[in-house]
A and B are shown apart, each in its own frame.
Chain A
């Protein structure tokens, strides 16, 4: 039994990072219509910023904040400099994001080479409860993710800003006529989604080493989760992230471990065949419940 519980706990920590990515993807797509495949590279940049900061003697909490801020600023610059020109041509935006993957990877390789990078675990304590081991660093990742996602949920569902945001997705022109600054909101959502990727990157490098190519695998899973949950659906992204993390943990633990990624994407294909709108129903805008 303790092995079973251990596998669930194992899955939760990586599921947390994937959920952060999926929430970013689903918010950006659902609220702005931008399909940003370079979102994984945003995460990778967040990891690199964390690594640089920690390597230069910064504490992990400060490094994490730096990662969030740097990637948010990068998101702002890229939305204003690139994606805003493709808002009416989503396919062009998609191609731009693919190009951005290569550009960002090569910038990182140029300055900091392609080797693996890691930081010392910010928390080293390991608790043992009934034969189940819980690493403090993994618990930290799960708790931070839960807090951030909960906060995001409440901002989108309960705040005036969130309501205005959803109104602009329903009908951009009417929302603009009602005085909602739609353009600014789109930028704001892109920046917030980017900040989530920066946070995910900081949390990821706290757990595992990263390379300039780490973003590719993670973003694929992030999109898989967003699709399984239903694109644009925040609740769906969280639930699907947890499902995928646990499926991965169980597939490696009880099935053919070398097929871990294949299980994730097989699940995505199955869900999309049975429920094309995703498990929780996808929309072109946010559906919270």
Chain B
């Protein structure tokens, strides 16, 4: 028995000795950040952009020498986890990153309800958490973001939903109207029936009504739907001027050809579909089709900084996806975080939060990225429209100042 115990002690000692250099290196020269994203599963088109965007920013920072914090310079080490578009996996991955890996910050996920669940782990652990989910608006309040509040370390890297929906609705209608030979009065929304779809569409319907649209129906579909013909036929029976496909880019691209086959409407809007994909896949329709990017398009942008960013992004090996631009809800903020560490001169999360609240970063998305008192950013959204078999026009749409009543 004693021999067994001794062997176990020796083994533990040996393993401990093996682990020591890595531990020293971790605390000495590197700082770890984590990404939790859907690199597989039904939300992969948006999910795979997170690790790609964050990786690019980390590479740029490390190639430039690293991040200076106090007297020392650190390299950033990125630890990625695939949530498989599964909320349980996302929570488990967050637990691991926070408890076992010891990351200082987490980026993601892109699924709204997943992020809400992840904050229950990141916030008590005082881990900085950046997510481009507008649902965070429901929990980011004066009290929750205050020091000692439940979400003091949580930051929303996408505009509030009334802003994003408002700018999108205005852009879609203003771009489509000149391409349709009659006034656009009636809109039907087709949305995925999950937490994200329900949340986002509740704002979008208000935004459309604020633009004077009659919205007779929101038709929800199960998230993994591939045969849209029954619900498209239902939409057709409502005689819409525009059908708005809201919000999953992959589903949208599956639904559009079926809608064109069935002749559902004289115009369509595809939320979260980049004109780059429209061109890459040689898509076409015999009616005008509007598209929106979250937040800036990679295929055809009016944003002067976008071209250089997306060249670097795709050159680093990221695939050209439906929603590759979602990466910008994360890329800029790795640089913001690095600046905040430098400004705070410390990794102390409270000091870093204070630094984040005073930063004004010149990013790709905007020349002045800053967080408001509720830890949220504000910036424009790009909307484009393709004429039947013709050119694509894009424009940046500024967000409305106030939510529609």
Contacts and interface: CB of A to CB of B under 8 A. Distances in A.
Partners in one complex: yes
B237 interface: yes
Contacts of B41: 114
Nearest to B236: A3
Given A6-B262, A14-B227, A209-B226, 19 more contacts: A3-B234, A6-B236, A7-B230, A10-B233, A13-B229, A114-B44, A115-B44, A128-B263, A208-B254, A209-B250, A213-B224, A217-B224, A250-B230, A253-B230, A253-B231, A254-B234, A256-B220, A257-B230, A257-B231
Nearest to B194: A258
Interface string B32-49: 000000001110100000
Going nearest first, the 6 A-B pairs with the smallest beta carbon separation are: A252-B230, A208-B226, A258-B193, A10-B229, A114-B40, A258-B220
Interface of B: 40-42, 44, 193, 219-222, 224-227, 229-231, 233-234, 236-237, 250, 254, 257, 261-263
Candidate in B222, B229, B236 with the most chain A CB atoms within 10 angstroms: B229
Interface string A219-258: 0000000000000000000000000000011111110111
B40 A109 contact: yes
B262 A133 contact: yes
Nearest to B85: A114
Interface of A: 3, 6-7, 10-11, 13-14, 109, 113-116, 118, 121, 126, 128, 133, 135, 207-211, 213-214, 217, 248-254, 256-258, 260-261
B230 A133 contact: no
B15 to A, nearest CB: 31
A115 B40 CA distance: 7
A133 B264 CA distance: 10
Given A113-B40, A114-B40, A11 B220 contact: no
A114 to B, nearest CB: 4
A214 B226 CA distance: 10
A7 B226 contact: no
Contacts of A126: 261
24 contacts: A3-B233, A3-B236, A7-B233, A13-B227, A114-B44, A115-B44, A116-B254, A133-B261, A133-B262, A135-B261, A207-B226, A209-B226, A209-B250, A210-B226, A249-B229, A252-B230, A252-B231, A253-B231, A253-B234, A257-B230, A257-B234, A258-B193, A258-B220, A258-B221
